[in-house]
Amino acid sequence: MAMTAHSTGRLPESSSSCRQAVMPARHRYRPCSLSMNGCRREGVAVPVGICETRTLPAVSAPESAVSELKSAISALVDADPPPSTSGIIRLQVPIRQRADAIVWLHAQHPLPRCYFSARSHPSLSVPLSLRDGNGRRFLSSEDEDVVSVAGVGSAVFFHGSDPFSLDDWRCIKRFLSKDCPLIRAYGGIRFDPRTNVSPEWKNFGSFYFVVPQVEFDELEESSMLALNIAWDNTLLWTWQKAINGVQATMNQIAPCFCRLRNLFPGTAIIGFNHVPTKASWDISVKKALQIIKRRNSELVKVVLARCSRYATDTSIDPVSLLACLKQVEGQNAYQFFIQPPDAPAFIGNTPEKLFHRKYSNITSEALAGTRARGLTKVEDLQIGQDLLSSPKDNNEFTIVRESIRRKMEITCNEVLVEPSKALRKLPRVQHLSAELSGTLRNEDDEFDILTCLHPSPAVCGLPTEEARQFIEENEMFDRGMYAGPVGWFGGRESEFAVGIRSALVGKGVGTLVYAGAGIVEGTNSSLEWDELDLKASQFTKLFQHEVPRACYQEMNTGSVN
């Protein structure tokens, strides 16, 4: 078998003025637990000794890729272990045909599971040359981009109960390399790690990231099956244990999979409740507006959210639900799926990018204001123009855009805003949007750009701390990772979306759908409630039947918790 390898270098130190803002002195943080299948140690940040990508000969179908990887693992079992006491090695098999990563994920059952699909392919460009066994180029960054990635099992995962810190970021980055750009850690961060965690979010912690054991990459015209082998003797997870763990997961991998059909045959909503109820929502909005209108108040905007629990007559598979979301609502949006062991799945179809980093280049965006799409082109144009000319929505949007610009200027050189305001049209809704770009003064200020941009005024409010405190005191449910950063870290690039238009599905919680709306001066409480319904409808409209409206008042009571 012909294989190519790339090795890694050391991780530089970094510093920035943002860190004290997200890690105030009154909090004492512990580094994350670095876990390799149960073996844990805190505070490990030295880069691993080996980071390699080995490419096997290309095959024609996914089934052949499974066989190739199993053979490669068997060969490694009989070979001498690597000379380093720690490392991560990726074995990958290019597949000449394109297959859907989410369909592959649906056929797999090992946990944990993860999935991430880019909103636009160029942002996930992979500058990596792949060659077949005879040395011929199979694909390169000029040829194809990664469309979506699905993963199962855990080569190494990162989990903590304290807020995500610089030390936690370094623990993750020690397994990543510019020379191995497809070794990535996928996951998310809690919206507010300082609040109490409810039972449904317990296994997610304040953050959760995983480098999958087995991974399927959907490319533009082809595919790739890969596995990651990670070991660290100081964690008592040796090379041999890592090989055995990957073998066990590979033995559970379904080599064959087919197109998903009839995702929700006969599914109907048989009950639901909202937290808060409409009456409680009105009270919270009124309270927020009273504070905003005070002469000496600093609060300009606060984003309030709703959690809706839906009971259906048949159980819903979260992978099928996400696949259906992608098919129906996926245009110009990210899709994500995060499921730790023994936990429900956090899934979403979000239009909002938090940031994308490629080397030192950073892009972000502002998104605010919501209207439905029109039934005709003329109606749609009229609704869009109404959104563009609305003083209330322009006020909300300007707050978001200028806040993001100021935050990017902390770690970036000149920040460009182009366009300054435009319409972002999605299948069901449209928003005001602006694109922002800049260059990091130091590539390793990635942690700072993440912690500076989250939470944005689009999901929290302004000023951030005043809005966060209002949310903590007035919301009646745990947001968990809703509205938090979801995405991946890589050696050359990283990408995070904002975890809105999302739901928690399965494992005894039913289907919890989350939606939020910005409260600014001029807000109408009932119109914002209707906006919540509109945002949640991307989930509810997927069910074939809905509860009759006459039942609404009777069922819209109770609590999620």
Kindly list the catalytic residues.
301, 352
Pairing of β 429-439 and β 185-189: unpaired
Q: State the amino acid at position 112 in one-letter form.
A: P
Q: Are the C-beta atoms of 171 and 44 separated by less than 8 Å?
A: yes
CA distance 82 to 245: 17
For residue 489, give the nearest of 52, 190, 145, 184 by alpha carbon.
184
Quick one: tokens of 278? 């409409």
Quick one: tokens of 288? 């927020």
Quick one: tokens of 444? 């390793």
CA atoms within 13 A on the CB side of 145: 10
Dihedral angle over CA of 104, 109, 112, 114, nearest 10? 20
Tokens 């006969």, residue? 266
Q: State the amino acid at position 168 in one-letter form.
A: D
Cα-flanking dihedrals φ and ψ of residue 336, to 5°? -140, 160
CA distance 56 to 42: 35
Pairing of β 86-95 and β 50-55: parallel
Using alpha carbons, list the distances in angstroms from residue 185 to 209, 247, 419, 447, 450.
Answer: 6, 21, 32, 14, 15
**How many residues belong to the chain?**
561
CA distance 27 to 102: 40
Torsion sign, CA atoms 523, 527, 532, 534: negative
For residue 401, give the nearest of 389, 411, 393 by alpha carbon.
393
Q: Are the C-beta atoms of 326 and 117 separated by less than 8 Å?
A: yes
For residue 454, give the nearest of 116, 191, 161, 169 by alpha carbon.
191
Quick one: tokens of 402? 């200028």
Q: Are the C-beta atoms of 301 and 403 separated by less than 8 Å?
A: no
Q: Are the C-beta atoms of 118 and 146 separated by less than 8 Å?
A: yes
Using alpha carbons, list the distances in angstroms from residue 517 to 257, 325, 396, 483.
Answer: 40, 21, 11, 11
CA distance 254 to 375: 43
Dihedral angle over CA of 441, 442, 445, 449, nearest 10? 30
Angle between the N-to-C axes of helices 446-453 and 166-173, in degrees from 0 to 180, rounded to the nearest 10: 130
Query: Is 144 strand, coil or helix?
Result: coil
Query: Is 385 strand, coil or helix?
Result: helix
